[in-house]
Amino acid sequence: NAGVTQTPKFRVLKTGQSMTLLCAQDMNHEYMYWYRQDPGMGLRLIHYSVGEGTTAKGEVPDGYNVSRLKKQNFLLGLESAAPSQTSVYFCASSGAGTSARKEQYFGPGTRLTVT
Amino acid sequence: DAKTTQPPSMDCAEGRAANLPCNHSTISGNEYVYWYRQIHSQGPQYIIHGLKNNETNEMASLIITEDRKSSTLILPHATLRDTAVYYCIVRVGNNQGGKLIFGQGTELSVKP
Protein backbone atom coordinates (compact mmCIF):
# COMPACT_ATOMS: atom_id res chain seq x y z
CA ASN A 1 0.00 0.00 0.00
CA ALA A 2 1.97 3.00 -1.31
CA GLY A 3 -0.65 5.65 -0.44
CA VAL A 4 -0.29 8.72 -2.66
CA THR A 5 2.62 8.84 -5.10
CA GLN A 6 3.73 11.68 -7.37
CA THR A 7 5.81 11.64 -10.53
CA PRO A 8 8.30 13.25 -11.08
CA LYS A 9 9.90 14.36 -7.80
CA PHE A 10 11.88 17.20 -9.40
CA ARG A 11 11.69 18.99 -12.73
CA VAL A 12 13.23 22.06 -14.35
CA LEU A 13 11.37 23.63 -17.26
CA LYS A 14 12.10 26.53 -19.56
CA THR A 15 9.45 29.22 -19.96
CA GLY A 16 6.85 28.13 -22.50
CA GLN A 17 7.46 24.40 -22.16
CA SER A 18 4.69 22.04 -21.18
CA MET A 19 4.59 19.14 -18.76
CA THR A 20 2.24 16.83 -16.91
CA LEU A 21 2.48 15.87 -13.25
CA LEU A 22 1.05 12.50 -12.35
CA CYS A 23 -0.61 11.63 -9.05
CA ALA A 24 -1.64 8.08 -8.20
CA GLN A 25 -3.42 6.68 -5.13
CA ASP A 26 -4.11 3.07 -4.19
CA MET A 27 -6.66 3.70 -1.42
CA ASN A 28 -9.74 3.68 -3.69
CA HIS A 29 -10.44 7.30 -2.74
CA GLU A 30 -13.14 9.24 -4.57
CA TYR A 31 -11.69 12.72 -4.04
CA MET A 32 -8.35 13.97 -5.31
CA TYR A 33 -6.68 17.38 -5.12
CA TRP A 34 -3.77 19.38 -6.49
CA TYR A 35 -2.17 22.09 -4.34
CA ARG A 36 0.80 24.35 -4.81
CA GLN A 37 3.02 25.72 -2.06
CA ASP A 38 5.27 28.72 -2.51
CA PRO A 39 8.14 29.47 -0.08
CA GLY A 40 6.90 30.51 3.37
CA MET A 41 3.26 30.08 2.39
CA GLY A 42 0.52 27.62 3.13
CA LEU A 43 -0.86 25.32 0.45
CA ARG A 44 -3.28 26.71 -2.14
CA LEU A 45 -5.79 24.53 -3.95
CA ILE A 46 -5.41 24.48 -7.75
CA HIS A 47 -8.03 21.97 -8.91
CA TYR A 48 -9.84 19.06 -7.38
CA SER A 49 -11.97 16.10 -8.42
CA VAL A 50 -14.89 14.43 -6.64
CA GLY A 51 -14.91 11.39 -8.90
CA GLU A 52 -13.69 9.80 -12.10
CA GLY A 53 -14.38 12.06 -15.07
CA THR A 54 -15.14 15.17 -12.97
CA THR A 55 -12.94 18.13 -12.07
CA ALA A 56 -13.48 21.54 -10.47
CA LYS A 57 -11.49 24.74 -9.98
CA GLY A 58 -9.88 25.64 -6.69
CA GLU A 59 -8.38 28.92 -5.48
CA VAL A 60 -5.64 29.32 -8.12
CA PRO A 61 -6.63 27.39 -11.30
CA ASP A 62 -5.25 29.74 -13.97
CA GLY A 63 -2.49 28.28 -16.12
CA TYR A 64 -3.29 24.68 -15.15
CA ASN A 65 -5.50 21.93 -16.52
CA VAL A 66 -6.39 18.60 -14.94
CA SER A 67 -7.87 15.28 -15.92
CA ARG A 68 -9.27 12.33 -13.95
CA LEU A 69 -9.72 9.59 -16.53
CA LYS A 70 -9.15 6.81 -13.99
CA LYS A 71 -10.24 6.83 -10.37
CA GLN A 72 -6.74 6.21 -9.10
CA ASN A 73 -4.98 8.89 -11.17
CA PHE A 74 -5.18 12.68 -11.24
CA LEU A 75 -3.06 14.54 -13.79
CA LEU A 76 -2.00 18.19 -13.58
CA GLY A 77 -0.91 19.85 -16.81
CA LEU A 78 0.99 23.03 -17.48
CA GLU A 79 0.49 23.96 -21.14
CA SER A 80 2.94 26.89 -21.25
CA ALA A 81 5.04 27.11 -18.11
CA ALA A 82 5.83 30.52 -16.58
CA PRO A 83 8.36 31.44 -13.87
CA SER A 84 5.41 32.26 -11.56
CA GLN A 85 4.58 28.54 -11.59
CA THR A 86 7.84 27.68 -9.83
CA SER A 87 6.57 25.95 -6.72
CA VAL A 88 6.18 22.68 -4.87
CA TYR A 89 3.12 20.77 -6.02
CA PHE A 90 1.29 18.41 -3.68
CA CYS A 91 -1.35 15.91 -4.59
CA ALA A 92 -3.82 14.56 -2.03
CA SER A 93 -6.74 12.16 -1.88
CA SER A 94 -9.58 11.44 0.51
CA GLY A 95 -12.66 9.28 0.84
CA ALA A 96 -16.16 10.49 -0.04
CA GLY A 97 -19.29 10.55 2.10
CA THR A 98 -20.63 13.05 4.59
CA SER A 99 -18.62 11.90 7.60
CA ALA A 100 -16.33 14.63 8.89
CA ARG A 101 -13.51 12.09 9.41
CA LYS A 102 -12.33 12.11 5.85
CA GLU A 103 -8.81 13.31 6.20
CA GLN A 104 -6.71 14.05 3.16
CA TYR A 105 -3.62 11.95 2.49
CA PHE A 106 -0.82 13.84 0.81
CA GLY A 107 1.92 12.78 -1.58
CA PRO A 108 5.60 13.71 -1.14
CA GLY A 109 5.47 16.65 -3.53
CA THR A 110 6.98 17.63 -6.90
CA ARG A 111 9.50 20.46 -6.92
CA LEU A 112 9.13 22.40 -10.16
CA THR A 113 11.42 25.21 -11.29
CA VAL A 114 10.60 27.29 -14.36
CA THR A 115 13.50 29.34 -15.71
CA ASP B 1 -15.28 28.58 5.01
CA ALA B 2 -14.31 30.65 8.03
CA LYS B 3 -10.85 32.20 8.29
CA THR B 4 -8.42 31.27 11.03
CA THR B 5 -5.69 33.24 12.81
CA GLN B 6 -2.60 31.57 14.27
CA PRO B 7 0.64 32.93 15.72
CA PRO B 8 3.40 32.64 13.12
CA SER B 9 5.84 30.84 15.41
CA MET B 10 6.20 29.22 18.83
CA ASP B 11 8.91 27.45 20.80
CA CYS B 12 8.51 24.52 23.15
CA ALA B 13 10.95 22.59 25.32
CA GLU B 14 11.29 18.89 24.59
CA GLY B 15 9.11 16.80 26.91
CA ARG B 16 6.80 19.70 27.75
CA ALA B 17 3.29 20.23 26.45
CA ALA B 18 2.95 22.34 23.31
CA ASN B 19 -0.23 24.43 23.23
CA LEU B 20 -1.00 25.88 19.81
CA PRO B 21 -3.84 28.43 19.69
CA CYS B 22 -6.18 29.20 16.82
CA ASN B 23 -8.83 31.89 16.49
CA HIS B 24 -11.84 31.29 14.25
CA SER B 25 -14.30 33.94 15.41
CA THR B 26 -16.49 33.70 12.27
CA ILE B 27 -16.96 29.93 12.42
CA SER B 28 -20.42 28.71 11.48
CA GLY B 29 -22.45 26.15 13.43
CA ASN B 30 -21.80 23.37 10.93
CA GLU B 31 -18.08 23.98 10.45
CA TYR B 32 -15.48 21.64 11.92
CA VAL B 33 -12.02 22.58 13.18
CA TYR B 34 -9.23 20.51 11.63
CA TRP B 35 -5.52 20.42 12.40
CA TYR B 36 -2.81 19.30 10.01
CA ARG B 37 0.95 19.57 10.28
CA GLN B 38 3.75 19.73 7.73
CA ILE B 39 7.18 18.48 8.66
CA HIS B 40 10.04 20.03 6.72
CA SER B 41 8.35 20.42 3.30
CA GLN B 42 6.82 16.95 3.32
CA GLY B 43 3.14 16.60 2.47
CA PRO B 44 0.82 17.72 5.30
CA GLN B 45 -0.41 15.12 7.78
CA TYR B 46 -3.82 15.00 9.44
CA ILE B 47 -3.74 15.31 13.24
CA ILE B 48 -7.24 15.70 14.65
CA HIS B 49 -10.60 17.42 14.12
CA GLY B 50 -13.63 18.43 16.20
CA LEU B 51 -16.98 20.19 16.07
CA LYS B 52 -17.73 21.40 19.60
CA ASN B 53 -16.59 18.72 22.03
CA ASN B 54 -13.00 18.29 23.07
CA GLU B 55 -11.26 15.47 21.23
CA THR B 56 -8.23 13.31 21.93
CA ASN B 57 -6.37 10.77 19.86
CA GLU B 58 -2.97 9.13 19.92
CA MET B 59 -1.30 12.25 18.53
CA ALA B 60 -2.92 15.19 20.28
CA SER B 61 -5.85 16.76 22.09
CA LEU B 62 -8.14 19.45 20.72
CA ILE B 63 -9.83 21.89 23.08
CA ILE B 64 -12.63 24.01 21.58
CA THR B 65 -14.06 26.90 23.58
CA GLU B 66 -17.75 26.86 24.41
CA ASP B 67 -18.50 29.69 21.96
CA ARG B 68 -16.38 27.84 19.34
CA LYS B 69 -14.53 31.02 18.44
CA SER B 70 -11.15 29.59 19.30
CA SER B 71 -9.39 26.30 19.87
CA THR B 72 -6.11 24.91 21.15
CA LEU B 73 -4.15 21.95 19.86
CA ILE B 74 -2.19 20.24 22.62
CA LEU B 75 0.79 17.97 22.04
CA PRO B 76 1.16 16.53 25.55
CA HIS B 77 4.86 15.62 25.48
CA ALA B 78 6.53 17.36 22.57
CA THR B 79 9.53 15.68 20.95
CA LEU B 80 12.06 17.01 18.45
CA ARG B 81 10.14 15.18 15.73
CA ASP B 82 7.12 17.41 16.42
CA THR B 83 8.98 20.40 14.97
CA ALA B 84 6.73 21.37 12.06
CA VAL B 85 4.27 23.94 10.71
CA TYR B 86 0.83 23.39 12.22
CA TYR B 87 -2.26 24.44 10.28
CA CYS B 88 -5.68 25.11 11.82
CA ILE B 89 -8.47 24.88 9.22
CA VAL B 90 -12.23 25.18 9.48
CA ARG B 91 -14.55 23.58 6.94
CA VAL B 92 -17.98 22.08 6.53
CA GLY B 93 -17.36 18.38 7.06
CA ASN B 94 -16.76 16.58 3.81
CA ASN B 95 -19.06 18.73 1.72
CA GLN B 96 -17.83 20.78 -1.23
CA GLY B 97 -15.44 17.99 -2.17
CA GLY B 98 -13.75 18.12 1.23
CA LYS B 99 -11.70 21.14 0.24
CA LEU B 100 -9.13 22.47 2.68
CA ILE B 101 -8.15 26.15 2.73
CA PHE B 102 -4.72 26.50 4.34
CA GLY B 103 -3.49 29.66 6.08
CA GLN B 104 0.14 30.27 6.94
CA GLY B 105 0.10 28.16 10.10
CA THR B 106 2.27 28.20 13.21
CA GLU B 107 5.87 27.10 12.96
CA LEU B 108 6.54 25.10 16.13
CA SER B 109 10.17 24.60 17.14
CA VAL B 110 10.77 21.96 19.80
CA LYS B 111 14.11 22.55 21.46
CA PRO B 112 16.22 20.13 23.54
Q: In Å, what is the CA distance from A102 to each residue of A57, A63, B22, B45?
A: 20, 29, 21, 12
Give the nearest chain A residue to B8 (CA atoms): A40
3-state secondary structure A73-85: EEEEEECCCCHHH
- List pLDDT tens digits, range B78-105: 999 999 999 999 886 656 677 788 888 9
Mean pLDDT of chain B: 91
Distances A62 to A51, A58, B83, B88 between C-alpha atoms, Å: 21, 10, 34, 26
Contact B94 A98 (CB under 8 A): yes
Closest CA to B107 of B25, B6, B14, B2: B6
Q: Do B100 and A100 touch (CB under 8 A)?
A: no
Among the ranges given (B15-19, B62-66, B86-90, B94-98), the one the predictor scored with the smallest mean pLDDT: B94-98
pLDDT at B23 over 80: yes
Q: Do B94 and A97 touch (CB under 8 A)?
A: yes
Average pLDDT value for residue range A14-25: 97
Probe site for chain B from A50, A104, A110 (most B CB atoms < 10 A): A104
| Residue-by-residue DSSP string for B16-51 | SPEEEEEE-TT--TTPEEEEEEE-TTS--EEEEEES
Instruction: Find the chain B residues whose C-beta atoms sit closer than 8 A to any C-beta of A.
Output: 32, 34, 36, 41-46, 49, 51, 87, 93-95, 97-105
By DSSP bridging, strand A110-114 and strand A10-13 are parallel
Please list every residue in chain A whose beta carbon sits closer than 8 Å to the beta carbon of residue B100: 33, 43, 45, 104
Higher pLDDT, B31 or A26: A26
Contact assignment for A104 to B100 by CB distance below 8 Å = yes
